């Protein structure tokens, strides 16, 4: 149960980290290297000197950038997807198919098919609501586990809710904070560095259409040592939106874990394709 939940959430999210010293260096290097464009520290221009100041209103510029990011967020009623997931961990690799059906702000249904943790065929089904997580082990022990959404947070060690999981799966940026410290613009990309209550977030955007290219998060509390790295690519039209059909998620703690997500099918605002029925004879625990 625990292993499955960790893998599922990591499909959409970073989890843990590498060493603290290396962590703090990486996010700083990411915003200071690769090109010679200056890093702009965000400063508000006082209203009483706004007309007299020769300085650029960097805060206004970033507010405009982030408003475009918010505008790009995918809004939906329902979402269906078929994803090929490739998992690379210490000493092993695996691949499997994940089917997802979501009804916005209501339910997320998941079916895992393939060689997940050595299970062939339909191995696991899950149902996530705002309050609960139900996991059905179809192969092997044939059991049903019912837990609160808080249990999922405890397993992963990250305080996120149903809405965050929903955004992660649909491809919307998460942990976007209004406390933007600096930004950096080049010919092709915009780097926005923000610091929230939980995470430092370095967001890389396409300079042309403000789609998210990369998201790097480090824990504000250096004692927690959590960091994650998510790359978005192969954007394709999905209704009026652009949808990232490729994701690469790298995480590390004591060992390295990398997940590759290749969306084979996806649709917006169509009836959910997947049902969730719990067999009566299955063991409940």
Q: How far is CA 198 from CA 128, 203, 215, in A?
A: 24, 15, 15
- Give SS3 for 5: helix
- The whole-number pLDDT of residue 46 equals 53
Per-residue pLDDT of the chain (285 residues; tens, 9 = 90+): 444 554 555 444 333 223 333 333 344 444 444 444 556 665 544 555 445 544 556 778 778 888 888 889 999 999 999 999 888 877 777 888 889 999 999 999 988 886 544 444 557 888 899 998 888 877 667 778 888 887 766 665 566 688 888 998 899 988 787 778 888 888 899 999 988 887 888 999 999 999 999 999 887 877 766 777 889 999 999 999 999 999 998 776 556 678 899 999 999 999 999 888 877 777 776
Is 258 strand, coil or helix?
A: strand
* pLDDT given for residue 252 in this prediction: 63
116 burial (CB, 10 Å; 0-12 / 13-18 / 19+) is buried
Q: 80, 270 in Cβ contact below 8 A? A: yes
Domains in the chain, please, with CATH? Answer: 2-43+58-267 (2.50.20.10)
| Torsion of Cα atoms, 28 then 29 then 34 then 35, to 10° | 50
Query: CA distances (Å), 208 to each of 59, 104, 185, 188, 280, in order?
Result: 20, 29, 11, 7, 53
As a whole number of angstroms, the distance between CA 256 and CA 250 comes to 7
| Centroid of chain to Cα 110 | 17
Q: Which among 62, 252, 85, 224 has a CA at the least distance from the CA of 158?
A: 224
Q: Look up residue 233 and give its DSSP letter.
A: E
Q: Which of 76, 6, 60 is nearest to 180 (CA)?
A: 60
Q: Do residues 236 and 81 lie in contact, with contact meaning Cβ atoms separated by under 8 Å?
A: no
Question: Which residue has 């954007």 as its token pair?
Answer: 235
Angle of the 2-12 helix axis to the 149-156 helix axis, nearest 10: 80
Beta bridge partners of 110: 100, 126
Phi, psi of 210 (to 5 degrees): 65, 25
> What residues does 134 pair with on adjacent strands?
127, 146
- pLDDT at residue 7, as a whole number: 52
Neighbours of 174 (CB within 10 A): 19
What are the structure tokens assigned to 130, written together? 């705002």
Q: What is the pLDDT of residue 253?
A: 59
pLDDT at 92: 76
């Amino acid at each position: 149960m625990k292993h499955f939940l960790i893998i599922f959430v990591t499909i959409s999210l970073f989890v843990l980290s590498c060493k603290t010293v290396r962590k703090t260096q990486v996010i700083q290097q990411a915003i200071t290297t690769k090109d010679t464009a200056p890093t702009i520290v965000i400063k508000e221009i006082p209203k009483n000197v706004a007309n007299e100041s020769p300085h650029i209103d960097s805060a206004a510029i970033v507010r405009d950038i982030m408003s475009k990011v918010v505008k790009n967020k995918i809004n939906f009623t329902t979402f269906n997807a078929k994803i090929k997931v490739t998992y690379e961990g210490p000493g092993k690799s695996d691949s499997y198919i994940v089917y997802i059906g979501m009804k916005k702000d209501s339910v997320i249904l998941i079916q895992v098919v393939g060689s997940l943790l050595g299970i062939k065929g339909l191995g696991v089904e899950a149902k996530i609501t705002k309050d609960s997580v139900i996991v059905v082990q179809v192969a092997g022990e044939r059991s049903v586990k019912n837990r609160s959404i808080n249990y999922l947070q405890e397993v992963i060690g990250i305080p996120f809710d149903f809405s965050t999981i929903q955004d992660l799966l649909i491809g919307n940026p998460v942990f976007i904070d209004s406390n933007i410290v600096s930004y950096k613009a080049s010919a092709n990309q915009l780097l926005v560095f923000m610091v929230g209550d939980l995470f430092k977030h370095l967001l890389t955007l396409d300079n042309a259409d403000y789609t998210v290219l990369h998201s790097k998060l480090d824990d504000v509390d250096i004692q927690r040592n959590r960091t994650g790295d998510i790359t978005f690519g192969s954007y394709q039209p999905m209704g009026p939106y652009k949808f990232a059909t490729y994701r690469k998620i790298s995480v590390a703690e004591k060992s390295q874990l990398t997940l590759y997500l290749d969306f084979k099918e996806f649709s917006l605002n169509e009836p959910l394709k997947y049902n969730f029925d719990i067999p009566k004879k299955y063991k409940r625990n």
